Copies of this chain bind each other. A is one copy, B any other.
Amino acid sequence: MKDYIEANKERFFEELFSLLRIPSVSSAEKHGPDMERCAARLAVLLKEAGADRAEVCPTKGHPVVFGQKIVDPSLSTVLVYGHYDVQPVDPIELWKSDPFEPEIRDGAIYARGANDDKGQLFMHLKAFEYMLRSGRLRHNVKFIFEGEEEIGSPSLAEWAEEHRELLSADVILVSDTTMISERVPSINCGMRGLSYIEVKVTGPDKDLHSGHYGGAVANPINVLCDIISSLTDGDGRITVPGFYDDVEELSEEDRARLARAPFDLGEYKKFLGIMEVKGEKGYTTIERTGIRPCLDVNGIWGGFTGEGAKTVLPSEAHAKISMRLVPHQDSRKITDLVERHLLSSAPDYVRVEVKKHHGGNGFLIPISSDAYQAASRAMQEVYGTEPVPSRGGGSIPVLADLQKILGIDPLLMGFGLERDTIHSPNESYLLSQLFKGMESIALFYEYFH
């Protein structure tokens, strides 16, 4: 497919950039019309690539884009999953170029969604187009692109339940993850789940002068800090009773296999600009992000945050807190557990409220499957080395649901790299990975039966 890429490169950029220019931020209400526009544009691109059916399907939330090409019902079927929504762009001031005006610099595309997931799903459109136009496609291919992955996919599971037949396939093929490095390709064979809550602590019913009341009235920011601090202990373990009950403990053998993945702690720290790593006692960095749960405050706010010094004892303090889960922790159960813990341990001098955001379960994929073997062979051919099976720290909550609803295992062929800084300012995607991804996917079709 190399020649095909070379011959069509400029058109590819135009098509991908037309997606990247649409600010499809699923979490912000004001971007509703952009979600519609982006879904419509994707359906057009599906048609142009050769799908004989491509439609924008309404859901309770943002629409799902469905497309398919049925070559021959007796052939096996690949269901490609991707998402066209993106993360918010703030802090916007740290972007070197407009997040929604893609730019190619130093061999990479810079834009929100360049990798996650518009860039990665685009590889599937073009690999499919190539296979079809070159007369090599011997699969039926279905596409399902959702617009709510970044907000926890609240609508897709229900939509999938209602369209089981339409979505029937032999594998769910997904490119929405990273590989270890360009020299060390890897295939994710497990992802973490997610619980996400928002906590509001209310003290006095109005902002107070901190001189008149400081010392006598509980300050909700101080209390929120106490609560957050108490959620983990000195060993980096989460203190919520029952939190670890269902955590899968890996055998020494499994841990040894994970440890074989090349990992340079010095490079890792240098890339992140940190002096030291920090995590749960008794586990390596790879284990801490792969097989262990964790708790992070994703945002916190309260009181006076402007320039200068204001002596206020604020009425409210807020935090967004998420937990990454591992098999076999159940997202709902954990969210309920944490909510109960927070509410029951709330001191009587403040009011604590918990709002639940969407979460999802983690999952595991057997490396013995035909799909994994085909992906491994394809990537080995493109990268010149056998991909390492790895465990991803991130979450694609809906995949565990789809796996359950459709009875099909997902396969995670991700071509992102750490350097792409997805979810952060200056998200990018290397052209070399974009093209190698297309080649690997095309070869996957050759080897998967």
A interface with B by C-beta (< 8 Å) = 26-29, 87-88, 90-91, 94, 150-152, 178, 192, 194, 196, 198, 203-219, 221-222, 224-226, 228-230, 232, 236, 272-280, 285, 288-289, 292-314, 317-320, 322, 324, 347-351, 357-358, 392-395, 418, 421-425
Please measure, in the bound complex, the distance between the C-alpha atom of A415 and the C-alpha atom of B300, giving whole angstroms: 37
How far apart are the CA atoms of A311 and B162 in the complex, in Å? 29
Asked whether, in the complex, the Cβ of B300 is within 8 Å of the Cβ of A317, the reply is yes
Asked if B211 and A394 sit within 8 Å, CB to CB, the answer is yes
Q: Please report the C-alpha to C-alpha distance between residue A127 and residue B332 in the assembled complex, in whole angstroms.
A: 67
Contacts of A280 in B (CB 8 A): 215
A169 to B216, CA, bound (A): 37
Complex: A357 Cα to B309 Cα, angstroms: 7
Which of B294, B350, B423 is close to A208, meaning CB atoms less than 8 Å apart? B423
A210–B324 touching, CB < 8 Å? yes
CB distance from A385 to the nearest CB of B (A): 22
**Is B304 a contact of A311 with CB atoms below 8 Å?**
no
Q: Judge whether B209 and A423 touch: CB under 8 Å.
A: yes
25 A-B pairs within 8 Å (CB atoms) are namely: A198-B309, A205-B273, A207-B421, A207-B424, A210-B423, A211-B392, A211-B395, A212-B394, A214-B296, A214-B393, A215-B279, A215-B292, A215-B393, A216-B277, A217-B274, A221-B228, A222-B232, A222-B296, A224-B300, A225-B225, A276-B347, A276-B349, A300-B300, A305-B320, A311-B423
Counting chain B CB atoms within 10 Å of each CB, the highest count among A151, A306, A350 belongs to: A306
Q: Is the beta-carbon distance between B217 and A307 smaller than 8 angstroms?
A: no
Question: Could you tell me if A215 and B424 are in contact, using CB atoms closer than 8 angstroms?
Answer: no
Whether B425 and A207, one on each chain, are in contact in the complex, defined by CB atoms closer than 8 angstroms, is yes
A425 cross-chain contacts in B, Cβ below 8 A: 206-207
- Identical subunits present: 2
Question: What's the Cα separation between A351 and B274 when bound, in Å?
Answer: 9
Query: Quick check: A320 and B303 within 8 Å, CB to CB?
Result: yes
> With A211-B393, A302-B299 in contact, is A309–B276 under 8 Å at CB?
no
* A206-B421, A229-B226, A303-B297 known; A218+B289 contact, CB < 8 A: no
A275 to chain B, nearest CB (A): 5
A232 partner residues in chain B, CB cutoff 8 A: 222
Of A236, A279, A312, most buried by chain B (CB within 10 Å of CB) is: A312
Which residue from chain B places its CB closest to the CB of A309 in the assembled complex?
Answer: B357
B residues in contact with A274, CB < 8 Å:
203-205, 217-218, 349-350
CA distance A94 to B310 in the complex (A): 17
Report chain B residues within 8 Å CB of A320: 303-305, 309-310
In angstroms, Cα B219 to Cα A67, docked, is 41
Bound together, the chains give a CA A86 to CA B221 distance in angstroms of 24
Q: Contacts A299-B304, A309-B357, A324-B211 hold; do A204 and B272 have CB atoms under 8 A apart?
A: yes
The answer to whether A278 and B204 have CB atoms under 8 Å apart is no
Closest chain B CB from A93 CB (angstroms): 12
Nearest first, the 7 closest Cβ-Cβ pairs linking A and B are A211-B394, A205-B273, A215-B294, A27-B308, A299-B303, A229-B229, A218-B278
- Taking a contact as CB atoms closer than 8 A, the residue among B94, B194, B289 that contacts A213 in the complex is B289
Q: Is there contact, CB below 8 Å, between A151 and B309?
A: yes
With A192-B211, A216-B277 as known contacts, state yes or no: A310 contacts B423, CB within 8 Å. Answer: yes
Q: Which residues of B contact A207 (CB under 8 A)?
A: 91, 421, 423-425
Q: A303 — which chain B residues lie within 8 A by C-beta?
A: 297-300, 320
